[in-house]
Amino acid sequence: MNNLPFGKTWRLIPHDPRFSKPLRIMKISTCLLFAFVTGVQANGIAQKVTLKMKNARIEEALNAISKQSNLQLFYGENIDSKVRINVNLKDASVAAALNAVLKSNNIEYKIIANTISVNGKTIDHGASNSLQQTISGTVRDKEGKGLAGATVTVKGSSLSTQTDANGSFQISALSSATLIVRFVGYSTIEVPVNGRNAIAIVLATDERQIDEVVVTGLGGKIDRQNFTGATAKVNMKDVELGGLPDPSRSLEGRVAGVSVQNTSGTFGSAPKIRVRGATSIYGSSKPLWVVDGIIIEDVADVSSDALSSGDALTLISSAVAGLNANDIESFQVLKDGSATSIYGARAMGGVIVITTKKGAVGRNSFNYVGEFTSRDIPSYNSFNIMNSQEQMSMYQFMNQRGWLNLSDVSVASESGVYGKMYQMINAGKLENTETARNAYLRQAEYRNTDWFKELFSRNVMQNHSISLTSGTEKAQYYTSLSAINDPGWARQSGVKRYTAMFNAGYNLLDNLKLNLLANGSYRDQRAPGTLGQTIDVVNMEVKRDFDINPYSYAMNTSRTLDAKESYIRNYAPFNILNELRNNYMDINVGDYKFQGELSWKVLKQLELTAMGALRYQQSSQQHYVKDYSNQALAYRAMPNTIIRDKNPYLYKNPDDPYAVPVSVLPYGGIYNRTDYKMVSQNFRFNFNYNNTFNEVHKLYAFGGATVNNDTRNNDWYRGWGIQYDLGEIPFTDYHVFKKGQEENSDYFKVINTRNREVAFFGQANYTYDERYTLNGTLRYEGTNRLGKSTSARWLPTWNVAGLWNVHNEKFFKNWNSPINTLSFKASYSLTADRGPSFVTNSKAILESYNPWRPNAGDKETGLQIKDLENSLLTYEKKKEFNIGTSIGMFNNRLAIDVDYYTRKQHDLIGEINTQGLGGQISKYGNIAKMNSHGLELSVAGTILRNEDFSWNSSFIFTKAVNKITEMENHKQVVDLISGNGFGLQGYPVRSLFSIPFEKLDINGLPIFTGPDGPTTTGLNFQERDKIGYLKYEGPTEPTTMGSFGNIFGYKGFKLNVFFTYSFGNVVRLDPVYKTQYTDLTATTREFWDSWTVPGDELITNVPVMIDKRIVRNDRDYKYAYNAYNYSSVNIAKGDFIRLKDLSLSYDLPKNVVNSFKVSSLGFRLNVTNLWLLYADKRLNGQDPEFVNSGGVALPIPRQYTLTVRLGL
């Protein structure tokens, strides 16, 4: 277990339910409410207490008072618990009530900071020794906050006192005495006085002393001491990153075993999260998100690989983007099979359980958090891109090689300054003389446009969030509202998000509790218009048509262009600023959840819970391609016959042998709309049984059943010819439909999917004498995902685990070592996953299709067998063995957690060659195997601590490696060398391969080692069989990662320095090499090193900027240059060390704050992504985490956030 001492958990002293009579409580709560309204709630003495008891024990009476007055109760020692009392009070003050209960029994009480502390009366020894002195001191927590109400006792005597509201105390003791300091939730420590007058005492939180539970999310609550699985808990307040509103990003580097890769930083897109690495070869290996006991289903299935695609769908890929980070109390990450097996087939990729904040009895507060974030504009200085002067000289060089001449450029699909110049010459606006041309080009040479400045801004993102907590014995509330207004870092990337949360707990009866929760969020986001990413497998190009992503535009566009001018793209005029105004997407996401939970404590040991939840999520993406956007104009660009015949967006009627190309979009623009809708219903029933027999046998049993029903709907629609400028009237040319039919493309789609699931689960946990624990879990579940096949439908998963709490052994207690807690655990589990979403053919899958036919008149629809039946299809299975230990040392100042696991996975979905007599030679089935193992280490400790200064440090290390041990390869070369790569037998799950580059030949052309020896153009990117020649580069997912965090505290100041690191993966560099460059492209300075004259091949690897004549003679050189882009030269390591977060916070002292009539006020300034300490130089300043795929993908910028926290 990773008990990271990130925070403490408060617990109220349990009260005896026999006294809570409903009617009386009502009065008190009315009174309380009044007190709250008038703002004097802090003073408990103002409460009225009604008490009528006969022959009651003192504790009972005190509990009743505590409950009615909402004051906490704290017992000291020396209370005679056997004394019986009689009281009869009505509307008495708390003080009077306490006096009545305690006065005759030699017991003292104090009311400090909402806490009644009760102690046996100090007996005056009379013999006050001359060595006795008054000692003053403070008791603080690790963060330096004074602890009010802590008990300080002189060891061996009954002398005792309590700290005041600031944590200060005074006590008389001998200078040789030892003080014992106790406080709920903190470990008790003994401090020798050693003759000092002033003593600063810092208490460490002690999770062991509070009966903390591990929330596994399905209603089970198990004592952390007896929890056998590998898990880690982090509190939101310790990990939150200012200015990153998506809470999933804050997990980066915080939990051992969890990797978070920010492949895109755009709001709404999920980071790539892996718990203990990949668990499936074709599947997505994504962790399961559980919020307040409800599994958060994704509205659309976005595979892990697609997260870095930059497609519009990624904007709704984050499961928790609708959650306000300030509403989150904690994350609990369940890592091994022992912890996750209760989730069965969903949890092979780990589980992240989010618990939101709840109201608490007696705590009334109002909190405001405001965040103001400004993001740095990227600078060309950090990248290796040519400035306009260098670029222009490259163009001149290209010009010499036969490129950029008038006849080509004036009818080119893309052109920049040269194209503009020729246009002006043709239009008679520029003299066609060398002087005039040079003058024109000189302007461009000196232009040095800063595209980043044009497209990015430092606009301030604001995030305001208010929350209210209140609670009485009868009902507790937590409510919050938040609003984000982000005008956008890049143009057209603004976000507005509003969230609301209402969480109420009602104690209907003493043993019946109702919890109601409603949570909603609405998001309104703008993004640059984008189409999907496609891979041209023939030429090996990953591309996106009409891409206007501001970041990749700035990175790839020549600085010689004038930001105010239009140049040519897709044969039509193009200006990025104009295009972003006219081609954009609006994304609206609404996410609402209603949840109710009824718990009935049937017996003291048995609790039954029924829970129901409904979640509705809808998102719509409206992509506007307006009349004068380049994308619309490209569909009608035919200024002359040459372009008319070249423009691929025009349509040529195949029925007419003499047809000339015509536009299918003569007027207006395009309207694309994609909707995703999901209704998910969830019902669960479970029981919790917790009992201890004979004081040493502790049994915990938990079980239940759950039913899920998710209905998803996905609509896609493309409207042609909508005239945005003419009141949005559509004018659709009929050719669109004819063309669509001939190309077999649809203009709308509806996809409905239904997911149903039923599961039964149970867990038993037996502990002997708090030393030995044995745990077993079983889950039996069924889903409809595999169709009507009943054979594949049901799946059992299970685990067994054991735990040995060594520190509870006698020999350990007698052993005087710095280690104060020590436990070992081991678990073995079988868990499973349903496998990739496209393999569901336990019954044959028939799909409708439109067979390709040469003429529109021959068309018909049909059904075809998409997948043959595989009656033996089953779940992907994982066997996991986990061992771990937790060590606490030096009074828990140092906590070490280590886990090691090894996994054997079988029945993984892979491809297999069959005899093909069903019509498919290559099929998917449960044939692959994989092994993985990993080590997780987290060390947290207090390095320095004194009265004013503290230094806490934490180090997290994760190693996770995997290897496919059995699988046939059916992937093409293109899949193995691009993007995330793909696994082969003997290699990790996502491995990247390269085409081995040999050398440049004497003409400066690259030579590769192909399957049949050296070759320049003879590579087939679609080859599946002869792939042995490819060079293995490494996995694309890091194998080693973690963080190093330091928190320095000085009085109210806190400085947080947080580093993350990641090693072991490789990154494919941007494919920049081409046979032909336009005068639009920006090139890196590496092009200076390109081969120019024979002999250069000995000193450079950068191929020749090829002569136009050569390309014209052999178009196959395209293959060579694309192969070069994916060769062993064009790759870098993904390793990095990053100063992820640097923050300085300051909490104003209480006395200052109170004078403003507020209870707390704090400021924090943090800088995220400040400094990349180490990264491969070949990346040229690119963020190794970020995948620059265009579309809607943006990196996480360096950003500065000011956070204001105000409590009332």
Residue 1159: name the closest of 41, 382, 10 by CA. Answer: 41
Q: How far apart are CA 864 and CA 868, in angstroms?
A: 10
Q: How far apart are CA 994 and CA 410, in angstroms?
A: 37
The span of 38-46, 468-476, 694-702, 861-869 binding other proteins (CB under 8 A) equals 861-869
Query: What is the closest distance, in whole angstroms, from the C-beta atom of residue 286 to other proteins in the complex?
Result: 19
The end-to-end CA distance of the chain, in Å, is 36
Query: What is the closest distance, in whole angstroms, from the C-beta atom of residue 185 to other proteins in the complex?
Result: 35
Query: What is the closest distance, in whole angstroms, from the C-beta atom of residue 463 to other proteins in the complex?
Result: 39
Residue with tokens 């006795």: 132
The span of 33-41, 500-508, 910-918, 1054-1062 binding other proteins (CB under 8 A) equals 910-918
Nearer to other proteins, 483 or 701 (CB): 701
Task: State which of positions 912-941 bind other proteins (CB under 8 A).
Answer: 912-923, 925-927
> How many Cβ atoms sit within 10 Å of the Cβ of residue 1031?
15
661 binds other proteins (CB under 8 A): no
Q: Which of 817, 861, 946, 1151 binds other proteins (CB under 8 A)?
A: 861
Site string for other proteins, 734-753 (x = CB under 8 A): ---------xx------xxx
Pair 1170, 1150: CB distance under 8 Å: no
104 binds other proteins (CB under 8 A): no
Contacts of 1047 (CB under 8 A, 6+ apart): 950, 951, 952, 953, 1054, 1055, 1056, 1057
Task: State which of positions 607-636 bind other proteins (CB under 8 A).
Answer: 608
Nearer to other proteins, 136 or 744 (CB): 744
Q: Which of 68, 415, 515, 870 binds other proteins (CB under 8 A)?
A: 870
Q: Which of 188, 389, 755, 953 binds other proteins (CB under 8 A)?
A: 755
Q: What DSSP assignment string belongs to 72-111? A: EEEE-S---TT-EEEEEEEEEEHHHHHHHHHGGGTEEEEE
Query: Side-chain half-sphere of 531: how many Cα atoms within 13 Å?
Result: 13
Nearer to other proteins, 252 or 297 (CB): 297
Using alpha carbons only, what angle is made at residue 136 by residues 130 and 138, rounded to the nearest 5 degrees? Answer: 155
Nearer to other proteins, 474 or 859 (CB): 859
Using alpha carbons only, what angle is made at residue 1204 by residues 1202 and 1208, rounded to the nearest 5 degrees? Answer: 175
Nearer to other proteins, 368 or 737 (CB): 737
Task: State which of positions 25-84 bind other proteins (CB under 8 A).
Answer: none
Task: State which of positions 822-841 bind other proteins (CB under 8 A).
Answer: 840
Nearer to other proteins, 903 or 1074 (CB): 1074
Strand order in the sheet with 160-162: 160-162, 151-154, 178-182, 189-192
If you count them, how many residues does the chain have?
Answer: 1208
Q: How far apart are CA 789 and CA 333, in angstroms?
A: 34
Nearer to other proteins, 894 or 1111 (CB): 1111
- Give strand pairing partners of 260: 273
Pair 316, 267: CB distance under 8 Å: no
Give the Å distances, CA to CA, from 337 to 225, 230, 831.
18, 8, 6
Query: What is the closest distance, in whole angstroms, from the C-beta atom of residue 779 to other proteins in the complex?
Result: 14
Q: Which of 14, 657, 727, 1028 binds other proteins (CB under 8 A)?
A: 657
Q: Which of 785, 933, 1068, 1164 binds other proteins (CB under 8 A)?
A: 785
Query: What is the closest distance, in whole angstroms, from the C-beta atom of residue 332 to other proteins in the complex?
Result: 28
Q: How far apart are CA 1133 and CA 1035, in angstroms?
A: 10
Q: Which of 648, 666, 1014, 1094 binds other proteins (CB under 8 A)?
A: 648
E strand or H helix at 296 = none
Q: How far apart are CA 409 and CA 415, in angstroms?
A: 6
Task: State which of positions 1144-1173 bind other proteins (CB under 8 A).
Answer: none
Query: What is the closest distance, in whole angstroms, from the C-beta atom of residue 249 to other proteins in the complex?
Result: 32
Site string for other proteins, 670-709 (x = CB under 8 A): ---------------x-x-----------------x-x--
Task: State which of positions 1002-1061 bind other proteins (CB under 8 A).
Answer: 1024-1025
Nearer to other proteins, 377 or 844 (CB): 844
Task: Output the six-digit token pair for 674.
Answer: 């994609």
The span of 222-230, 437-445, 550-558, 755-763 binding other proteins (CB under 8 A) equals 755-763
Q: Alpha carbon 677 to chain centroid distance?
A: 22
E strand or H helix at 214 = strand 213-215
Beta strands in 300-347 (DSSP E): 328-334
Task: State which of positions 531-560 bind other proteins (CB under 8 A).
Answer: 534, 536-539, 541, 543, 545
Site string for other proteins, 757-776 (x = CB under 8 A): xx-x----------------
The span of 477-485, 591-599, 754-762, 882-890 binding other proteins (CB under 8 A) equals 754-762
Nearer to other proteins, 535 or 819 (CB): 535
846 binds other proteins (CB under 8 A): yes
Query: What is the closest distance, in whole angstroms, from the C-beta atom of residue 528 to other proteins in the complex?
Result: 18
The span of 355-363, 622-630, 845-853, 977-985 binding other proteins (CB under 8 A) equals 845-853
Nearer to other proteins, 424 or 868 (CB): 868
Contacts of 458 (CB under 8 A, 6+ apart): 374, 375, 376, 377
Q: How far apart are CA 668 and CA 96, in angstroms?
A: 82
Task: State which of positions 581-610 bind other proteins (CB under 8 A).
Answer: 602-603, 606, 608
| Helix/strand/coil for 580 | helix
Q: Which of 145, 756, 1150, 1198 binds other proteins (CB under 8 A)?
A: 756
E strand or H helix at 974 = helix 973-977
User: b or e along 79-89 (b: 16 or more beta carbons within 10 Å of the residue's beta carbon)?
Assistant: beeeeebebeb
Task: Output the six-digit token pair for 1171.
Answer: 């400094």
Residue with tokens 């194209």: 419
Q: Which of 854, 986, 1014, 1094 binds other proteins (CB under 8 A)?
A: 854
- Count interface residues toward other proteins (CB under 8 A): 85
The span of 151-159, 295-303, 343-351, 756-764 binding other proteins (CB under 8 A) equals 756-764
Nearer to other proteins, 430 or 598 (CB): 598
What ranges in 446-518 are assigned the alpha helix state H? Answer: 451-455
DSSP symbol at 309: S
Query: What is the closest distance, in whole angstroms, from the C-beta atom of residue 736 to other proteins in the complex?
Result: 13
DSSP symbol at 866: E
